[in-house]
Structure formats: structure tokens, C-alpha cells
Structure 1
Amino acid sequence: MRTNFDFSPLFRSSIGFDRMIDLLESASRVDAADNFPPYDIAKLGEDDYRISMALAGFGQDEIDITLERNMLMVSGQKSGEESGQYLHHGIAGRSFQRRFELADHVKVAGAKLENGMLTIELKREIPEEMKPRRIEIAGAGKGKPTQIEAEKHAA
């Protein structure tokens, strides 16, 4: 059983979370999923991910990978019809478009097509200024105490 959630109260009480709320809304209204082409998403390490897609029959020149903002899009278009009469046509050669929403600071490290498998390597790279850092606490025994001077008035 599927229930629809109303996220409008979140818009009234939060600022700057529009993208996250939009993601929640789009995830809650998932349509009947098109399962072509089949794919896997694997977490390889703390900050490393891999998307593997089975693209039998597609050549490197028939696949397009684009990254715009946080949206990774993989699309494929067969170049032409093959000649011949099929007795059974089980290998799907139809055009496709698959989208993956990437988190902030996730970058595409590389992609390769080998033996009908497209592999896209992803890496999360958090900028230095956003990483946790230790703040040194000055105490009575450490360093020189700062003295605040008052303004001097002529008498």
C-alpha cells in the first residue's frame, strides 16, 4: 500500500532545504519504474561508489554520459537498424535514459565500457573547509593573555 506524504508544512518552517524536500517529494511519487537497462550501485569504501549498467549491444559511440549540477544522466541511442530477419529478438536495443541524483561533493572519477558493462566510478570529495577540524583552546598556562586597553582621556 502506497501513501502520499504532504511536505508543504516543511516549506513553511524551513529555509534552504528546498532541494532536500524536492528529493523527498520526487521519491514519494515514483512511477512504474522502467527497469531498462539493468544496473547496480555499489559502495566500495567510505567515499567511493560504482554504478554498473548492463548495455549489451551498445557501442561506446552510442552511449552518452552527462553530469549537470548533481544529476548524472546516462543515455543510449542505437545508431542504426541491423539487417537480417530475427527468429528471436531478446537483446534489447532500444533507446534509454537513466538519471541518478548525486549528493553534494560527489564527482565522477571515470567511466569505461567493457564486455557490455558500463562502469561509472564516483568519489565523494569534501572540500577542506567543510571537513571537521580541531579548535585549539587557549588556557591560562598557554600563550600570552590578551589585554584590552581602555581609551585614554586627557585630564
Structure 2
Amino acid sequence: MRHVDFSPLYRSTVGFDRLFTMLDSLAQPDQGQTYPPYNIERTGENTYRITMAVAGFDETELTIEAKAHVLTVKGEKSEEKAEGSEFLYRGIAKRAFERRFQLADHVEVAAASLKNGLLHIDLLRSIPEAMKTRKIAIAAEPVNAPKTIETQVNS
């Protein structure tokens, strides 16, 4: 399994939850699974995309569920038998799969699409207003204007 090192990006996200690590890690029981292959990419400041190669599956054979910070993608291929033919060699995988992704806090699935055998799952990180950085004004006492001291002139 390939692993992408996001450690150079951590320097610019001090104190921020490790979003990249959480997206990159799979649920522990599935670590040896390599099918179907996938990519995780950052498409904007708060948007991400998971792309899975699911050639041969159509949208009715795929299910996507998000529950308790876990995104689950399942594929079950229905066995189709063509009458009057038999396979001499079968090299195209038609196996069922289940792939799980651990999502970071405040990340939710925005959309999913299937095009040319690639399943695209768009993710959106929406931080609540209460957790966003806000600028706090500093109140200061007004500075007193300089006073003019009058002197008496004796004549």
C-alpha cells in the first residue's frame, strides 16, 4: 500500500486536527485491502475528493454511506450469465468490495458521481462559526491630549 507523507504540511497547521492523516488512514481491519484503488486529493481550501477506480460497476451496484465520521463505499456486482457462452479466461474483477475511510471532524460528503469507471466523492469541511478564528478588538483608554501650561508674566 502506498503512503503519502503529509508531514511537511503539518508545519503550517499547528494546533489543527490532522485532517490529512485521518483521510489517509483506513479503518484498521481493512489495512491489507488494495481493491479498488483510490486517490485522495485536495481540490480547494475546504474541499477534498476521493476517486475510486470501479470499472464495470454502475450506480445501482454501488452504495455510499456516511455515519459517525466513517465513509463506507460498497460495491456488489450481480453475476450475469450470457446464454450460450462460457468464459475461457476471466481477468476482469467482478468481486464485491467494501472500503472505509475515517473522516475528520466537520467533514461531510457533498456529492458523488460516476463517470468513465471512476467514482468521485466530493467532501466539504465546514467549520461551525463558533469554532472559526475571530478577531478580537483591543480596548484601550484614550490618550490624554497634551496640556498647555500657562505662565504668568510679571511686568
Q: Is the shorter-chain TM-score for this pair beyond 0.5, marking a shared fold?
A: yes
What are structure 1's unaligned runs of at least 5 residues? 1-22, 143-155
- Secondary structure of the 1:49 match is strand
Amino acid in structure 2 at the alignment position of 1:117: L
Supply the AA of the counterpart residue of 1:36: Y
The 5-angstrom pairing of residues 64-143 of structure 1 reads: 64-83=63-82, 84-141=85-142
**What SS does the aligned partner of 2:77 have?**
coil
Deviations 1:12-63 (A, max 9, x none): xxxxxxxxxxx8xx97x67761111111111112211111111111111000
C-alpha deviation, 1:96, in angstroms: 0.4
Question: Quick one: structure 1 residues 82 and 53, their matched pair in 2 at CA, closer, same or farther if it must change by over 3 Å?
Answer: farther
Equivalent residue letter for 2:50:
I
CA, structure 1 residues 32+134, in 2 after alignment: closer, same or farther (shift >3 Å)? closer
Name structure 2 gaps, 5 residues minimum: 1-21, 144-155
Q: Which residue of structure 2 lines up, in the alignment, with residue 12 of structure 1?
A: none
Structure with more contact order per residue of length (Cα contacts < 8 Å, sep ≥ 6):
2
Aligned length, in residue pairs: 117
1:116-150 CA distance string (max 9 Å, x none): 110000111111110000111111129xxxxxxxx
Match of 2:130, SS state, is helix
- Is the contact made by 2:30 and 2:99 (CA closer than 8 Å) also made in structure 1? no
TM-score by length of 1: 0.69
Tell which structure's C-alpha radius of gyration is larger: 2
Residue identity matched to 2:78: S
Kindly, what percent of the aligned residue pairs are identical? 49
Q: Name the CA shift for 1:103/1:90 in 2 (closer, same or farther; >3 Å).
A: same
